[in-house]
Structure 1
Amino acid sequence: MKEKSHYKNLLSHKSLSEESIGLLEWDTLKTQIASFASTKMGKNVVLQFEIPTEYEISRRLLKETIEINELEKNLDKSISFSGVFDICKNIEICSKGGVINSSDLLEIAETISASRNLKKILLDFEQRPFISAFLKGLIDHNQIEKILKNGIESNGRISDRASQKLANLRQELLSKKSERRVLVNKFIQNNLPYIQDTIVGDRYGRPVLAIKVQYAEKFKGIIHDSSASGNTIYLEPESIVLKGNKIASMEARVAGEEFKLLKEWSHIIRDNNQSLLEMSNILLRAEFSLTRSRYSNWIGGNAPIVENSPIVSLMGFSHPLLIWENKKKQAAKPVSIDFHIDRNTKVVAITGPNTGGKTVALKGLGIALLMARSGLFIPSIQKPIIPFCPNIFVDIGDDQSLEGNLSTFSGHILRIKNILEALNNKKGFSVVLLDEIGSGTDPSEGTALAIALLKEFAIVSDITLATTHYGDIKALKYSDNRFENVSVAFDEESFKPKYTLNWGIPGRSNALSISKRIGINEKILNNASNYLKPKEVENINNIIKGLEEERLKQQKSAEEAAELIARTEILHDEIKNKYEFQKLNALKIQEAEKQKLSKHIKEAQKEVINLIKKLKDQNATGEDARLIGIRLKEIETDHLTQSNVERTTSWSPKIGDFIKIKSLNSSGQIIDIDEKAKSYEVKCGSFRSTLSINDFEGLNGEKPKFKDSQIQISSVREDFSFSKIRTSKNTIDVRGMRVHEAEIIIEEKFKKFHGPLWIVHGIGTGKLKKGLRLWLSSLNYVDKVEDAENNEGGAGCSIAWIK
């Protein structure tokens, strides 16, 4: 009895899941996806597809979609399934000993050829491990293809090359037909007065001539037909009948030889039926991956991060069915919405006016969960995070049933009862979507029942989303941290919904204000206000209004902050460019000054030599010696004192010292020193930069110098030059950072590193990756930069090889 009861529960669970999937309009979405298939059987695969309930299957589907998506983006032309036919039925006929015609055999040959070409394009275990895992099962049937294409012409006719006997029979057949044609022409020439028309007709494959009816008795032969008027008969003359019989016999022999070949080829298909069926299934699987990829691109989807955790993060999500309506039927562009559900939230109450988009939001999350399970990308502006959810239960729409004698309220309650029972037998993560919970009955009882149900769902389900008009449900968040409020945004100026969601804020009641705007008598509205609890309603509405205003302020501040960050990045790039220019210019000036100083020193050396010669001259007087001494002193002052001054005013910079950056003409503070690279990391305002000893000086003009250090035998560098295995030590994660922030973190890692460094930057908009790649390529100690393996991050991770 227990086993029967359990089996019954499983059946009802399955039925309820299927019903829920139907309420989310999954079949409509499948029809739209199927339109992106390349072949008719590819469309059927999509339409018959059942959403997997196991995480590993969904993960594999998503990986296959990602791999084939990246491949087609990088190819010069689209991946083609031209030449792939539905061959399964014909293979089945052959496997049972049947014989198929030449056109069907040619389709099998064409499919074999197409499979070989697709395997060349798709198979790559390094770049596409998931696609390659099933493509490796494609057996090369080139021998079968060669036999079939050698024996069958492109129009489906069996070729003379297929058999020498067939070629001889056909040649003999042509000869006999030629002989018959001569006899027919001779008969026409000899009997022109009796013939109605010289055109040779055909009846049942036999040549006939139109003879006037009055001369029918004149000729022997077979009358095959007569005209509608009865004035003409169609005669096969006796002299031609015998030749026709021989031709018919020859045609039968040709047909027999052709059938013999078809039977032989069909037996080849029979002997290889399993591998050919496997080939067809593999091709369908590859096409399904391509179909998912093309549809995902068309809706502007991003590959989701599917996890076994109750976290939902969908930024700028648009319902795919509304995207279809917009693109295919020129309907209004759907307004994107956001979903933020953390691991502590169990129930989300969505409130707001009718036609405001509550139900669409509910269905949107449901369809996104189904898409994630099916290996599809989700239409959102950022990489979505969504749980793997094998249990989705939905109560949306009018469940009134005249046949079952159920009211709308009863229909909803019956389905909720079934959902609660199914949750007791569920395995894995569960999401419940309820539209207008507790509606259809007395508001006070409906409110009480809705609160009780939602508290129960908070226990038995992982996430529950419920739309409602009941005000008391809004207050649950403030007494139970498992609850969250979301409201549909409403424009008070136009009194129209905005179709967007405000998270953390309950919806306000707009019934009276809308009624006033429409023109309901003010006396009636005043009476309605008196029936409400003025203070409570006013206080709640004021709180909600304050929350909405605070949200708008925060949104404005966030936008201003984003604008400021963007301007700062632009300024940083400008300063960096100017710094590089000034640095290059400073080197040129230093070189010119060195050359100038060298010239002066040479001149001074020559003058000193001349003065020494003059002192050695025997005719030099004491006055000459005094004047020469004065001049030597001047030379010493001009050319030698400078180096002494440099020696006395030089200093060894330390961490914490304030210095003057020459190229920027501004001050900064030393925060780190790399003695081996002889470089300094300097903080100037909010920016950091690495400078050499020639790029700065002391605040009073002191010249910096490095202390002579003893040779160090030991090394603190992390050397991974002999290891190409990714570990936590040779991996750095900079996702979510801006380019200049990531540069600082990576540069710090470089100082104590050697070998391959995995830099995880994510995919996103691609700006971070592009900026880092450009910067890394400019560093002379970076040997090369390349994308990581797919199992190590793929396009979302770069490997920098440090010299």
Structure 2
Amino acid sequence: MNEKILNQLEFAKIKEWLEGHAATSLGKEKVAKLFPSIELNEVTQWQEETDEAVTILRLKGHVPLGGITDIRPAIKRATIGGMLTANELLDIANTLYGSKQLKTFIEALEDVEIPILESYTNEIVLLNQLERSIKNCIDDHGHIMDGASSKLRTIRNQIRTFESRVRDQLDQYTKSKSNMLSDSIVTIRNDRYVLPVKHEYRSAFGGIVHDQSASGQTLFIEPQSVVELNNKLQEARIEEEQEIEKILRELSILVQEDAEVLRYNVDILQQIDFIVAKGKLSHQLKAAKPRMNQDGYINMRQARHPLISDDEVVSNDVEIGKDYTAIVITGPNTGGKTVTLKLVGLCTLMAQSGLQVPAQDGCELAVFDHVFADIGDEQSIEQSLSTFSSHMSNIVQILEDVNYNSLVLFDELGAGTDPQEGAGLAMAILDFVVERNARVIATTHYPELKAYGYNREEVINASVEFNVQTLQPTYRLLLGVPGRSNAFDISKRLGLNESIIEQAKSMVNEDSRSVENMIASLEQSRRKAEEQYREADDYLQEATGLYNSLRREYEQYLKNKEQHMDRAKEKATKIVEKAEEEAEQILEEIRQMRDEANVKEHRFIDAKKKLSDQKEQFEQTEERPKKEAKKVQHFQPGDEVHVLSFNQNGHIVEKISESEYEVQLGILKMKVPAKQLEFVKRPDPLKTKPMASVKGSAYHVKPELDLRGERYEDALQRLEKYLDEALLANYHQVSIIHGKGTGALMKAVQKFADEHRSVKGKRFGHPNEGGNGVTILELK
């Protein structure tokens, strides 16, 4: 395999797609180095990696890789003793945080079989102390914070004091001598506070001139009264720079100490980003994981060329390497023969690169030592070679290197020369490749090659279907059927004189006509067989569905029957036991009454009646009247009801008709059929107040919303619903807690607030309100 073959089969375009799915520059770098492997174990491992990524994306929809950047140049500079910038250190801290988030995400997938990705994330070393050290000194914008050291805090307090004193003094000049100034402002030149003085009043201020305007009419003067303060301010700023440099050097030393671990983590993150990118490409292509073999066997069902759009691509079945090792595709131009060649070649390269292929599940592909291709017009003006010579030079090189574990693709084999000689060369070349047991697919125009496939067990004919009625190719590959020229049929459809067509037919020898008739018969038989197969398959699918449905219903019936029988037996047993106990008590009473001398007749009759009642109750246990269905309730405005279709409680607003009511569900009002409503309770009229009088108290909603840990789409849905409730509660300000993290959720909240019609302002929270982890929204 070489770059020329990869370019002919357009493998570079697949890599461009794959690079677009990489989340980091690390992953893009890995994609750029991607090259098909010829080792079965390695290819199998790559395919397993890709399939694990596909599994995670199918279940979770994403893999968190935010905040991760290529920090290797910074690590290298720290290793040789260089001082890193604040932004470089911040990138390292963010990458450490991103790796921690990724590790946590993978570890949480306990029920998902992803052993390869788990092994990668298990090797990620969490450097929490280094991350905290950087975050404690550098804020999210790359600025050194006052709390980075006690000395820095003191110096900055001094700077603020000096700045305040300088500005106060200069502000006095702007008020008292405004007529001498070009503008009543305080400005800065050469990092010193100055005043814009008109040229003619220069002597009124004294001090130092730092600059002048382009016209020369304005001088930027530092008055003598603030020179000393400005000097102290400059000294403090120099001390600040020195302290910041000291802090950055200390942090750089910490990075140097963990350089090896950081480099190792970056390598793992690069590999995971690359694997996830392969999974995303599989999702885009609706691809399947191929089984890989070293037997030269290819079997793809409903395979699609990945570079042809879904609305144009035609799926095809392709099989080679078991019953036959060569496919000869014949037929007219623009029928899709070359596309079929490129489909097989490109899918082979993708599979050997660890990428899934656009075909049905269960596809199988081989790992080849070589993939050779002679496709397209390779005419070379520089080398003074004709099209035929160029193709032949390429074929000569292929025949020198071909072996049993090669895939060879010939497009228009033998074209560009005398038809008889070209056909002879094509058959000889095919014989040479087939004898070496390589896998070969060739396209050709030559009718002589139609008979070639019938005379050799290792070769099968194929063609690309052509619809004579529409004069358009269908691009469907027909294995086992050689291509027809269709010249007479097409000419007839286009209106060529019938006598000319008949004369042309008479000039074709009998053998050619027999072959064409045989091919036509094969095509007709194949189409009929395919129609019958599809019809039978439809019946099979329908019967299978009906069988499964009946089986499920029967199993459910048996299950319910057993449950009902068990419950009936249990209930009957309890009734019998209770009847026996009460009967025993009644008999005991009768015995006592019999023994009493003053037994009364009515007591005996009462006891006998109790016994009869128990008997009647026992006899009725087998058949009880069914409980009457709950009648439809007539509801009144204000009634609390349960809406079955939404599984949510609401309140009746008004009755629309006998069968429909208007119901308030949260902030929504909707019409609901009466049969979808269940009565819950009716409010006490003495305690009920009109809704209009309790605006602001009818909706119990907190003045803050916590979105931390939410996915992007879920967070925006919750935020939109929350703002509606807050507006109904008459809030003028709410707090949205989104955390800092990678900043994605914060940006989403900020963007949402900018576009929401009821938000008139936003700001980050003060330090005591949560800082940059909270956005305060002012509502209209």
Same fold (TM over 0.5): yes
- 1:256-289 Cα deviation digits (max 9, x unpaired): 1111111121122222222211111111111111
Verify the 8 A CA contact 1:106 1:156 in the aligned structure 2.
Answer: yes
Within the candidate set 232, 240, 244, 2:226 is matched to: 240
> 1:573 offset after TM fit, Å?
4.2
- 1:553-577 Cα deviation digits (max 9, x unpaired): 2212212322332343345346646
Within the candidate set 82, 88, 95, 1:98 is matched to: 82
> 1:438 offset after TM fit, Å?
0.4
> 1:243 offset after TM fit, Å?
2.0
Letter in 1 for 2:534: E
Partner of 1:273: 259
Partner of 2:442: 466
Structure 1 residue ranges without an equivalent (≥5): 1-13, 327-331, 596-803
Q: Does 1:80 align with 2:64?
A: yes
Partner of 1:430: 406
- 1:205-239 Cα deviation digits (max 9, x unpaired): 22121111112233322222222333222211122
Verify the 8 A CA contact 1:302 1:381 in the aligned structure 2.
Answer: yes
Equivalent pairs, count: 567
Distance in 2 between the 1:579 and 1:49 partners? 54
Partner of 1:21: 6
TM-score by length of 1: 0.67
Q: Does 1:556 align with 2:505?
A: no
* SS in structure 2 of the partner of residue 301 of structure 1: coil
523-532 or 266-275: bigger deviation: 523-532
1:550-699 alignment runs, 5 A limit: 550-573=525-548, 576=551
* SS in structure 1 of the partner of residue 36 of structure 2: coil
Q: Does 1:538 align with 2:513?
A: yes
Q: Does 1:169 align with 2:172?
A: no
Q: Does 1:291 align with 2:267?
A: no
Distance in 2 between the 1:107 and 1:336 partners? 46
Residues 227 and 545 of structure 1: CA distance in aligned 2, closer, same or farther (over 3 Å): same
Partner of 2:614: none
* SS in structure 2 of the partner of residue 349 of structure 1: strand
Partner of 2:693: none
Distance in 2 between the 1:376 and 1:217 partners? 80
Residues 153 and 570 of structure 1: CA distance in aligned 2, closer, same or farther (over 3 Å): closer
Residues 219 and 498 of structure 1: CA distance in aligned 2, closer, same or farther (over 3 Å): same
- 1:742-776 Cα deviation digits (max 9, x unpaired): xxxxxxxxxxxxxxxxxxxxxxxxxxxxxxxxxxx
Distance in 1 between the 2:493 and 2:536 partners? 37
Distance in 2 between the 1:373 and 1:236 partners? 73
- 1:182-213 Cα deviation digits (max 9, x unpaired): 22223334433322221111222221211111
Verify the 8 A CA contact 1:151 1:158 in the aligned structure 2.
Answer: yes
Within the candidate set 250, 260, 269, 1:264 is matched to: 250
Distance in 2 between the 1:461 and 1:159 partners? 71
Distance in 1 between the 2:172 and 2:418 partners? 102
Within the candidate set 362, 370, 376, 2:341 is matched to: 362
Distance in 2 between the 1:99 and 1:187 partners? 43
Distance in 2 between the 1:65 and 1:49 partners? 14
Distance in 2 between the 1:586 and 1:129 partners? 44
1:508-523 alignment runs, 5 A limit: 508-520=484-496
Partner of 2:368: 389
Q: Does 1:477 align with 2:453?
A: yes
Partner of 1:337: 316
Residues 443 and 565 of structure 1: CA distance in aligned 2, closer, same or farther (over 3 Å): same
Structure 2 residue ranges without an equivalent (≥5): 573-780
1:130-169 alignment runs, 5 A limit: 130-169=116-155
Verify the 8 A CA contact 2:481 2:523 in the aligned structure 1.
Answer: yes
Residues 152 and 368 of structure 1: CA distance in aligned 2, closer, same or farther (over 3 Å): same
RMSD after superposition: 2.6
TM-score by length of 2: 0.69
Letter in 2 for 1:469: H
Distance in 2 between the 1:403 and 1:99 partners? 54
Distance in 2 between the 1:337 and 1:571 partners? 30
Verify the 8 A CA contact 1:432 1:461 in the aligned structure 2.
Answer: no
Partner of 1:442: 418
Distance in 2 between the 1:272 and 1:438 partners? 63
> 1:463 offset after TM fit, Å?
0.7
Q: Does 1:374 align with 2:353?
A: yes
> 1:461 offset after TM fit, Å?
5.0
Letter in 2 for 1:97: G
210-219 or 578-587: bigger deviation: 578-587
Q: Does 1:353 align with 2:329?
A: no
> 1:72 offset after TM fit, Å?
2.8
Verify the 8 A CA contact 2:46 2:353 in the aligned structure 1.
Answer: yes
Verify the 8 A CA contact 1:353 1:497 in the aligned structure 2.
Answer: no
Distance in 1 between the 2:460 and 2:264 partners? 50
Partner of 2:289: 303
Within the candidate set 22, 33, 42, 1:37 is matched to: 22
Residues 578 and 249 of structure 1: CA distance in aligned 2, closer, same or farther (over 3 Å): closer
Verify the 8 A CA contact 1:423 1:461 in the aligned structure 2.
Answer: no
Q: Does 1:109 align with 2:113?
A: no
- 1:290-311 Cα deviation digits (max 9, x unpaired): 1111110111111111111222
* SS in structure 2 of the partner of residue 320 of structure 1: coil
* SS in structure 2 of the partner of residue 197 of structure 1: coil
* SS in structure 1 of the partner of residue 68 of structure 2: coil
Within the candidate set 17, 36, 40, 1:55 is matched to: 40
- 1:702-744 Cα deviation digits (max 9, x unpaired): xxxxxxxxxxxxxxxxxxxxxxxxxxxxxxxxxxxxxxxxxxx
Distance in 2 between the 1:237 and 1:49 partners? 67
Residues 390 and 167 of structure 1: CA distance in aligned 2, closer, same or farther (over 3 Å): farther
Partner of 1:500: 476
> 1:580 offset after TM fit, Å?
5.8
- 1:336-373 Cα deviation digits (max 9, x unpaired): 11102242312111112211111111101111111111
Distance in 2 between the 1:227 and 1:578 partners? 93
Letter in 2 for 1:149: K
* SS in structure 1 of the partner of residue 157 of structure 2: helix
- 1:640-670 Cα deviation digits (max 9, x unpaired): xxxxxxxxxxxxxxxxxxxxxxxxxxxxxxx
Distance in 2 between the 1:192 and 1:90 partners? 52
- 1:518-564 Cα deviation digits (max 9, x unpaired): 3445565455434421x111110111111112212221221232233
Residues 40 and 478 of structure 1: CA distance in aligned 2, closer, same or farther (over 3 Å): same
Verify the 8 A CA contact 1:437 1:467 in the aligned structure 2.
Answer: yes
Within the candidate set 152, 161, 164, 1:178 is matched to: 164
Partner of 2:237: 251
Residues 461 and 201 of structure 1: CA distance in aligned 2, closer, same or farther (over 3 Å): farther
Distance in 2 between the 1:349 and 1:453 partners? 12
Distance in 2 between the 1:245 and 1:73 partners? 64
* SS in structure 2 of the partner of residue 296 of structure 1: helix
* SS in structure 2 of the partner of residue 348 of structure 1: strand
Distance in 2 between the 1:362 and 1:52 partners? 21
Partner of 2:695: none
Verify the 8 A CA contact 1:358 1:467 in the aligned structure 2.
Answer: yes
- 1:151-193 Cα deviation digits (max 9, x unpaired): 1111111122221122222222222222222222233344333
* SS in structure 1 of the partner of residue 428 of structure 2: helix
Distance in 2 between the 1:404 and 1:281 partners? 45
Distance in 1 between the 2:16 and 2:96 partners? 28
- 1:11-30 Cα deviation digits (max 9, x unpaired): xxx5xx22111101111111
Letter in 1 for 2:408: V
> 1:48 offset after TM fit, Å?
3.2
